[in-house]
Chains A and B, each alone.
Chain A
């Protein structure tokens, strides 16, 4: 292992049910003298307090961020009930992170201070690399049931300027009860984590989906914008109108139907899916994203998810070369669709082939937009940008000496 060339990114997963065991397995795979930052995603099945304690014990003072999921993407592909993590080598990456404890009330001033703070952290941890829009990206992990994602993300994006950003909303395995983000030793809800990563490696932030518009349209005629609930579509009970549109009875409405028959809003020439979370007893529909009275929802048709994903990643890899890793935030409804179509094995093979590691989300974020039904993430290539060599901080250098000795 020591003779091998440096691994800029290491990934590991554990399907151990015991929090201590899972944390130890992850740590054993990831910890090395140059490890600078760890990102993880975990199932809601774990006892989160125990997991937090176990992770703290294993990784000590290393910066560690993560969130709960609606399923994980590990080296096996689509996975469940696991802990999956990515370790970043400090010689290639410099990371800073910040917790937003209360998502409501997050203003532009907060966003600006947060951005400045992250830039400073990145600069200090990477001597010789000045974070800018070409060598830095931002990852957001948000409470997926907070209904504040849009405002937080839009506000943050205004402060980030042209630094690309992406992220996902934490999940809870479809319980739709409580989602959590983790940083600095504990899990939080109604919170968000912003991670800024500067790197000497080539990377590309992307977002892709496989939906195409069809003809039928529905107008939201009664909605509760605060709670993301649509009561009426075309002045009819929403569940009824939607069920008739897709040709099923109201009783049959479930994740698979929502996954197969998405609705989207059109803004200028592009369509943005508005994913349905659940049908309520009062015939209303809850969404994973912001809705409002008067918006027009277009019925979408699903093309091949497999082809879309292949094309997108092949295209990026034609520019960057084979990746170290692809961090993916994958909408939970995509997985629901694949499961219903029995296509999980093929999709998992594709994810493995492209070294995708990540989690199933309750919503994705991409450059300030909160979106659904997408795979959004970053491809991290193996090529270093010319002339950029990351100075290892003295702290890491010392650890390296210890490790070599």
Chain B
């Protein structure tokens, strides 16, 4: 080894001068440093090679482990952040859920409130309409236009309340379809007659294309749709025609309501079924509207599962199209239909008993029924009725019963049951209510009572009485 040689040189030259000694020492140090350098150079140059030697394998493992540790650290950090984000989202979701719950709660109480308010408003309105109806048949020519105005105003008010009440019930999800098979014309003929008159008042032509097809639907809900569509058509048409038509398409029938009115702009056609959305020009035409009509139509059509579509062009008109499933009538039902349509409309001499805890309605009923030639016994309660007639023995043809009697007393169904229980021959019952609960509907059906919703329109009442007589 070379440094051994250096050491020997050192001792050999021990007697040399201090300068020489110093130089020798520097040279030795120089050689040592060079050797350190060489080792380091060897190491640096060899460091890039594959880890086949033990130390290189160790170093390689260390570098790997360090990388793994760093990456694990980074992953852990990322993971922690993600967990924090997830937690944050969960919290936001929780808050949203709470807000939704609150909103739903508020919505529910709003719905209840609207239902209660509309129910309470209906009672006096019902009375007022019965009175105006009676007056119209009584008064002379001069008073007639004013009465018509009163009647129109009341009808508008009624329609607003009904709309509100319907909308809140649809929102609350308490409305369900009671479908049955019936000839479509049975419903549309009446509507056509009604709206033909309204159209005539505005100087519009009204075309009606009837059909003999039988459909499966809920007549009441379907009627609601058609009324909305038809009154819209007339309301938003200044001149031209309103068409109510039917056309068979395979297993379905299309019911059209078309008009030549203001139409709907392309930009608005997508939102006309939304609540409180009204066309720009619709507002000019009907300032009192709530913008609920078409949203109700759309919601009911969905409950009925009758697809609804609309096409429209601004200033040219709109066409609403409802598709209903076609079906056939059972034998029994056909006969019943035939009978009822043949029945004469005269009610003269009919003995009718009325029980309604609302004095005004009692009075209104009496006036109206007497005008039709009926003999009326009207009472606010069962005891009062018993004072007027002998409920067990006296002859009568119909009992008109209010469902909601005074609080803490029996309801109309019970009272009607008590009256009929006393009689050898039960009376046909027409139950009146503003309550559209499904349960009541079913209870009336099981008792075989006819159910009419308040406010009762004179025409409907008349038809009901006729139906009762025929049955």
Stretch at the interface among A83-91, A217-225, A340-348: A217-225
Known A-B contacts A221-B35, A270-B62, A369-B62; the reply to A295 vs B43 at CB < 8 A is yes
Which of B3, B31, B55, B65 lies in contact with A295, CB distance below 8 A? Answer: B55
How far does the alpha carbon of A265 sit from the alpha carbon of B36 in the complex, in Å?
A: 16
Q: Is A147 an interface residue (CB 8 A)?
A: yes
Residue of B nearest to A234 (CB): B36
Known A-B contacts A219-B40, A292-B53; the reply to A150 vs B65 at CB < 8 A is no
Least CB distance from B375 to A in Å reads: 82
> Is B61's CB under 8 angstroms from A154's CB?
yes
Residue of B nearest to A148 (CB): B54
Q: Is A373 an interface residue (CB 8 A)?
A: no
Q: Is B349 an interface residue (CB 8 A)?
A: no
Which residues of A lie under 8 Å from residue B57 when comparing CB positions? 150-151, 154-155, 290
Which residues of A lie under 8 Å from residue B46 when comparing CB positions? 294
> Is B3's CB under 8 angstroms from A235's CB?
yes
Q: A-facing mask of B62-75, CB < 8 A → 1, else 0?
A: 11111010000000
Cβ < 8 Å to A, chain B residues 7-42: 31-33, 35-36, 38-42
Known A-B contacts A221-B36, A270-B66, A295-B43; the reply to A369 vs B55 at CB < 8 A is no
What count of chain B residues pass the 8 Å CB interface test? 31
Which of B39, B60, B65 lies in contact with A367, CB distance below 8 A? Answer: B65
Which of A153, A219, A292, A370 lies in contact with B56, CB distance below 8 A? Answer: A292
> Is A235's CB under 8 angstroms from B55's CB?
no
How far does the alpha carbon of A298 sit from the alpha carbon of B38 in the complex, in Å?
A: 19
Q: B-facing mask of A259-301, CB < 8 A → 1, else 0?
A: 0000001011010100000000000000001111111100000
> Is B53's CB under 8 angstroms from A225's CB?
yes
> Is B51's CB under 8 angstroms from A154's CB?
yes
Which residues of B lie under 8 Å from residue A148 when comparing CB positions? 54
Q: B-facing mask of A208-250, CB < 8 A → 1, else 0?
A: 0000000000011110010010001011100000000000000
Which residues of B lie under 8 Å from residue A296 when comparing CB positions? 40
> Is A150's CB under 8 angstroms from B43's CB?
no
> Is A154's CB under 8 angstroms from B43's CB?
no
Which residues of B lie under 8 Å from residue A135 when comparing CB positions? none
Q: Is A368 an interface residue (CB 8 A)?
A: yes
Q: Is B59 an interface residue (CB 8 A)?
A: yes
> Is B53's CB under 8 angstroms from A235's CB?
no
Which residues of A lie under 8 Å from residue B43 when comparing CB positions? 292-295
Known A-B contacts A221-B36, A293-B43, A294-B40; the reply to A368 vs B65 at CB < 8 A is yes
How far does the alpha carbon of A151 sit from the alpha carbon of B58 in the complex, in Å?
A: 8
> Is A369's CB under 8 angstroms from B65's CB?
yes
Q: Is A82 an interface residue (CB 8 A)?
A: no
Which residues of B lie under 8 Å from residue A220 when comparing CB positions? 39
Which residues of A lie under 8 Å from residue B61 when comparing CB positions? 150, 153-154, 157, 367-370
Which residues of B lie under 8 Å from residue A293 when comparing CB positions? 39, 42-43
Least CB distance from A225 to B in Å reads: 6
> Is A267's CB under 8 angstroms from B36's CB?
no
Q: Is B201 an interface residue (CB 8 A)?
A: no
> Is A369's CB under 8 angstroms from B58's CB?
yes
Residue of A nearest to B33 (CB): A235
> Is A268's CB under 8 angstroms from B63's CB?
yes
How far does the alpha carbon of A154 sit from the alpha carbon of B54 in the complex, in Å?
A: 9
Q: Is B393 an interface residue (CB 8 A)?
A: no
Residue of A nearest to B35 (CB): A235
Q: Is B190 an interface residue (CB 8 A)?
A: no
> Is B58's CB under 8 angstroms from A294's CB?
no
Q: Is B332 an interface residue (CB 8 A)?
A: no
How far does the alpha carbon of A294 sit from the alpha carbon of B57 in the complex, in Å?
A: 15
Cβ < 8 Å to B, chain A residues 172-186: none
> Is B55's CB under 8 angstroms from A292's CB?
yes
Residue of B nearest to A231 (CB): B1
Least CB distance from B46 to A in Å reads: 7
Which residues of B lie under 8 Å from residue A267 when comparing CB positions? 59, 62-63, 66
> Is B39's CB under 8 angstroms from A219's CB?
yes
Which of B33, B39, B42, B58 lies in contact with A150, CB distance below 8 A? Answer: B58
Which residues of A lie under 8 Å from residue B35 when comparing CB positions? 221, 232, 235
Least CB distance from A240 to B in Å reads: 12
Which of A147, A153, A221, A290 lies in contact with B39, CB distance below 8 A? Answer: A221
Least CB distance from A358 to B in Å reads: 21
Q: Is B174 an interface residue (CB 8 A)?
A: no
Which residues of A lie under 8 Å from residue B40 when comparing CB positions? 219, 294, 296
How far does the alpha carbon of A153 sit from the alpha carbon of B60 in the complex, in Å?
A: 11
Q: Is B44 an interface residue (CB 8 A)?
A: yes
Query: Which of B36, B42, B54, B64 has the most C-beta atoms of chain A within 10 angstroms of its own C-beta?
Result: B54
A147-B54, A154-B58 known; 15 new pairs, CB 8 Å cut-off, are A154-B51, A219-B40, A235-B3, A235-B32, A235-B33, A268-B63, A272-B62, A291-B55, A292-B43, A294-B40, A294-B42, A294-B43, A367-B68, A368-B65, A369-B62
- A residues with a Cβ closer than 8 A to B are 147-151, 153-155, 157, 162, 219-222, 225, 228, 232, 234-236, 265, 267-268, 270, 272, 289-296, 366-370
3 interchain residue pairs of minimum CB distance: A294-B43, A290-B54, A292-B55
